[in-house]
């Protein structure tokens, strides 16, 4: 499996972004403010934890953050049940969002397994060029 130069290259982050955007679309018109806010924050947590883990110091720290992201995926799925049970989302939205959340969790699980097997080192431990500029973290 390839090394990630940027968190935007990680498939589970891309899927979490898709889930987050879809949740924002579906919940845009809702008046159930507390639940809407909670499910949105849980989605954002998935993306953020994958990104933050990517820029941590090594495999151990990197794995910790996607593990938290995966748990946030379960939180999203739980909140979808509440939204469905109270009529805030219809059955099609419930199924679609639940499937995307499960796919996201599965991809995160694959990322965690890859990190544990590979001994992946984050950007912090990559070689720094003689000029001291790590362009791979900022531009590609």
pLDDT at residue 136, as a whole number: 46
Q: How far is CA 23 from CA 51, 71, 89, 92, 140, in A?
A: 19, 17, 10, 13, 30
Report yes or no on whether pTM surpasses 0.85: no
Could you tell me the pLDDT band of residue 133, with boundaries at 50, 70 and 90?
Answer: low
pLDDT in tens, 14-41: 999 999 999 999 998 877 888 999 999 9
* 139 falls within a domain: no
* 2 falls within a domain: no
What's the CATH number where 20 sits?
Answer: 1.20.1440.60
- Domain enclosing residue 51, as ranges: 10-120
Sign of CA dihedral 130, 134, 139, 140: positive
DSSP symbol at 29:
T
Residue 128: CB partners within 8 Å, gap ≥ 6? 134
pLDDT in tens, 34-60: 899 999 999 999 999 999 999 887 777
* 17 falls within a domain: yes
* 135 falls within a domain: no
- Token readout for 53 is 């883990």
* 76 falls within a domain: yes
* 47 falls within a domain: yes
When divided into structural domains, the chain yields a total of 1
Please list the alpha-helical segments (H only) found in 10-58: 11-27, 33-54
Sign of CA dihedral 17, 22, 28, 34: negative
* 86 falls within a domain: yes
pLDDT at residue 121, as a whole number: 61
């Amino acid at each position: 499996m390839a090394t990630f130069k940027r968190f935007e290259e990680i498939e589970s982050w891309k899927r979490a972004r898709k889930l987050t955007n879809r949740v924002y679309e579906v919940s845009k018109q809702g008046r159930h403010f507390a639940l809407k806010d909670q499910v949105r924050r849980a989605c954002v947590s998935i993306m953020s934890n994958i990104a933050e883990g990517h820029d941590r110091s090594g495999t151990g720290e990197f794995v910790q953050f996607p593990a938290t992201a995966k748990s946030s995926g379960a939180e999203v799925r739980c909140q979808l049940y509440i939204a469905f049970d109270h009529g805030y989302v219809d059955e099609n939205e419930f199924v679609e969002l639940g499937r995307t959340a499960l796919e996201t969790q599965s991809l995160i699980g694959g990322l965690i397994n890859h990190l544990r097997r590979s001994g992946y080192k984050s950007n912090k431990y990559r070689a720094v060029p003689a000029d001291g500029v790590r362009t791979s973290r900022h531009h590609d």
